[in-house]
Structure 1
Amino acid sequence: MNFENFILPHIWNLKPYSSARDEFKGKEGVFLDANENPLGSGVSENWNRYPDPLQLAIKEQLAGIKSCSTDQIFLGNGSDEAIDLIMRMTCQSGVHNIILCPPTYGMYEVSASINHIEQRKVSLTQHYQLDVEGILQAVDQNTRLLFLCSPNNPTGNKLNRSDIYTLIESFKSGFIIIDEAYIDFSDEISFILELAKYPQVIVMQTLSKAYGLASLRLGMAFAHPTIISLLNKIKPPYNISGATQEIVYKALSNVSFKNESVKSILSERDRLKKSLINVPGVIQIYPSDANFILVHFKQANDLFDYLIEAKLITRNRSSVALCEDSIRITIGLSEENDKLVQLINQFYKA
């Protein structure tokens, strides 16, 4: 695949910033190169030295976990950084366009708007699946990116894999980004394992969900080594803090926590769905392959406000196309889910 056709020329030819830690990668020595404070940090742990700009220790762990190579991994300040960098790498304002499939993750649209990139929206079907024909009709020679979120946010369902394959085989003017933020809660096989076959695919995942590290803001992109090298070239030199790298390294070693978390959340998801299915105000509970469910309620806006008053916070998606009168509910602890069901029953009995 000729990636140069899909990358902006100034990005392709860019000479990246070379940081002090790029020029010397050793860990021992007298460091007088980076204008750091030699006295420490004034807290119990010293963070006075700049971190590894390429996060190699974490990438070595992830390569084993994800069955890929380290040069196929980009780490960003949340997946949002990868989304923004991919757009800036491929799209020129006023020339190129991207395709979104709403309802889906809102940051694709926000990032495109910030970068002043044309967005062509092809809505999901009533069953929250891809309108493959509509997407292909929207594509032209200047379409650089197609964003697919599976399992999808806010609907929770996984997209038909056969439809994704059709789009991969048919879309030839740019990259397909498959956002797998919730794949740990699904039985779906990651497209990371198919990157060698499909070099135009970029896969995004996160440590915010199953790994419980949302506060650390570490997102992952997996792609052909050429794409990863370009992302590393245009990212800020130290985009992942030393503290984040240290904590993530420890967390990735604790596989049992992640596995037990997924098991517990899936069990609670099933239990919550069973508890809600006979509530009079519940119209539909949509299928979910994520750590949340989308529920169509009668009087959804009033119910949302009622829950807020009780200090139980959900996400009102009623203003989102195809999600009218629906609330997205993250799966909580057993007692939190019980409280939710109790309050919903109280609302409809009032």
Structure 2
Amino acid sequence: MSIQHLLRNNIKNLKAYASARDEFQGNSTSLRFLDANENPYNTGFNRYPDPKQLQLKALLAKHKKCRLENIVLGNGSDEILDLIIRAFCEPNRDSIITLPPTYGMYEVLATINAVAVKKINLSLGFQPQVDAILEATTPRTKILFLCTPNNPTGNSFTEQAMEELLLKFKGIIVIDEAYIDFSNQKSWLEKLDQFPNLIITQTFSKAYGLAGIRLGVCYASEEITEVLNRIKPPYNINVLTQKKAFDRLLEHQLVQTEINQIKTNRAQLIEALKHVACIEEIYPSESNFVLVKVDHATKRYHELVSKGIVIRNRTNEPLCTNCLRLTVGNEEDNVLLITSLQALK
């Protein structure tokens, strides 16, 4: 499948902005850079960052066992999602499909870009309804967003449903893997070359513990990444973010240790939640949070806030009536949460 017919016409012919650092690349101390109108006095940050983030991408590609050309970096995953919608969806004409309950920014970004949103609720088991999705698809349906493990439900979608959609959906499929590091399922990155219409997004905010630096990652075919790199802002990833992410990637073993500890804490939290009277159901989780159904979500939410604990009330989401989303904390956090829940009357 060629993605050219899916692109907006004005994007097909867009010539990317060429920054000073695109036209000349080099860091030699013997060179005098008088090309970018930068402050000449060295503050440590007076020079623009690498617009292609080549050093960071090279290390990331090594870790993920993919090609550097398959990577696009964004100022958070939200910038990447916005770029994807702007590249493929014609305002006031095209549409996307989302599968509620799911990450709310898909709809927000589409609406900002004047792109219609078709919603096909997940099944009662929180799985994609493949037939309903395909039936709702028209030639103007450009993107399908699949969040797996899903937020806020915490579960992964079945490989069978995912493969059927990848084979039959005629547009772009974005698999949001923000929580993949906490799952026992393999990343779809391993099958990237099999599906030219596949885009995978990941983040440094969850498993890497770097939510504060706002760094999202996109993996796609070189045909797609070339387009996204063409329309992204020239210096979208700042120097501090690039350095912090690079250093964190070098701490691979520490990151994996932290992931394993969160998974252990998750199992312990789920076991403890079974003995909380106001909890009616605990949903399976392959993420760093647990969705639970309680007797009265809004009441319990405010009671926990009064005890100094902030969780997420998801009762207004489809299929999530009276559901609370509990982030897996450290051992002390989880003990406090359980103790506070058990004290509720």
TM over 0.5: yes
- Give the Cα separation in 2 of the matches to 1:35 and 1:330: 46
Matches within 5 A, 1:337-348: 337-348=334-345
- Give the Cα separation in 2 of the matches to 1:314 and 1:101: 23
Structure 2 counterpart of 1:141: 139
Structure 2 counterpart of 1:287: 284
Deviations 1:100-138 (A, max 9, x none): 000000000000010010111000011101111110110
Structure 2 counterpart of 1:326: 323
- 1:252 deviates by 0.4
Structure 2 counterpart of 1:15: 15
Matches within 5 A, 1:270-309: 270-309=267-306
Deviations 1:27-73 (A, max 9, x none): 011111111111133xxxx1110000010111111111111100000
Matches within 5 A, 1:29-48: 29-41=31-43, 46-48=44-46
Structure 1 counterpart of 2:249: 252
Matches within 5 A, 1:194-233: 194-233=191-230
- Give the Cα separation in 2 of the matches to 1:303 and 1:89: 43
Matches within 5 A, 1:66-77: 66-77=64-75
Task: Assess if the C-alpha contact under 8 Å between 1:136 and 1:171 holds in 2.
Answer: yes
Which amino acid in 2 is paired with 1:341?
I
- Give the Cα separation in 1 of the matches to 2:121 and 2:48: 44
- Give the Cα separation in 1 of the matches to 2:233 and 2:219: 18
- Give the Cα separation in 2 of the matches to 1:151 and 1:331: 15
Structure 1 counterpart of 2:104: 106
Deviations 1:161-201 (A, max 9, x none): 100100111111x1000001100001111111111110100
Task: Assess if the C-alpha contact under 8 Å between 1:297 and 1:325 holds in 2.
Answer: yes
TM-score, normalized by length of structure 1?
A: 0.97
Unaligned runs of 5+ residues in structure 2 are none
- Give the Cα separation in 1 of the matches to 2:248 and 2:308: 31
- Give the Cα separation in 2 of the matches to 1:182 and 1:171: 24
Count how many residue pairs are aligned between Structure 1 and Structure 2: 343
- Give the Cα separation in 2 of the matches to 1:93 and 1:230: 18
- 1:243 deviates by 0.7
Deviations 1:299-334 (A, max 9, x none): 211110011112211011011111110110110010
- 1:94 deviates by 2.1
Structure 1 counterpart of 2:172: 175
- Give the Cα separation in 2 of the matches to 1:139 and 1:341: 44
Which amino acid in 2 is paired with 1:62?
L
- Give the Cα separation in 1 of the matches to 2:254 and 2:228: 31
Task: Assess if the C-alpha contact under 8 Å between 1:211 and 1:257 holds in 2.
Answer: no
Which amino acid in 1 is paired with 2:25?
K
- Give the Cα separation in 2 of the matches to 1:200 and 1:300: 39
Task: Assess if the C-alpha contact under 8 Å between 2:91 and 2:113 holds in 1.
Answer: yes
Q: SS at 2:343's partner residue?
A: helix
Task: Assess if the C-alpha contact under 8 Å between 2:2 and 2:196 holds in 1.
Answer: no
TM-score, normalized by length of structure 2?
A: 0.98
User: What is the CA RMSD across the aligned residues, in angstroms?
Assistant: 0.8
Q: Does 1:236 align with 2:233?
A: yes
Structure 2 counterpart of 1:187: 184
- Give the Cα separation in 1 of the matches to 2:108 and 2:93: 18
Task: Assess if the C-alpha contact under 8 Å between 1:315 and 1:327 holds in 2.
Answer: yes
Which amino acid in 1 is paired with 2:95?
N
Q: SS at 2:163's partner residue?
A: helix
- Give the Cα separation in 2 of the matches to 1:322 and 1:21: 49
Q: SS at 1:53's partner residue?
A: coil
- Give the Cα separation in 1 of the matches to 2:254 and 2:151: 24
Q: Does 1:317 align with 2:314?
A: yes
Deviations 1:228-282 (A, max 9, x none): 0110100000000011101111110000121011110000000011111021111
Structure 2 counterpart of 1:154: 152
Task: Assess if the C-alpha contact under 8 Å between 1:97 and 1:118 holds in 2.
Answer: yes
Which amino acid in 2 is paired with 1:220?
V
- 1:93 deviates by 1.6
Which amino acid in 1 is paired with 2:176?
D
Q: SS at 2:201's partner residue?
A: strand
Q: Comparing 149-158 with 90-99, which one deviates more in the overlay?
A: 90-99
Which amino acid in 1 is paired with 2:198?
V
- Give the Cα separation in 2 of the matches to 1:260 and 1:204: 23
Which amino acid in 1 is paired with 2:237?
I
Task: Assess if the C-alpha contact under 8 Å between 2:196 and 2:221 holds in 1.
Answer: yes
- Give the Cα separation in 1 of the matches to 2:130 and 2:196: 20
- Give the Cα separation in 1 of the matches to 2:110 and 2:3: 21
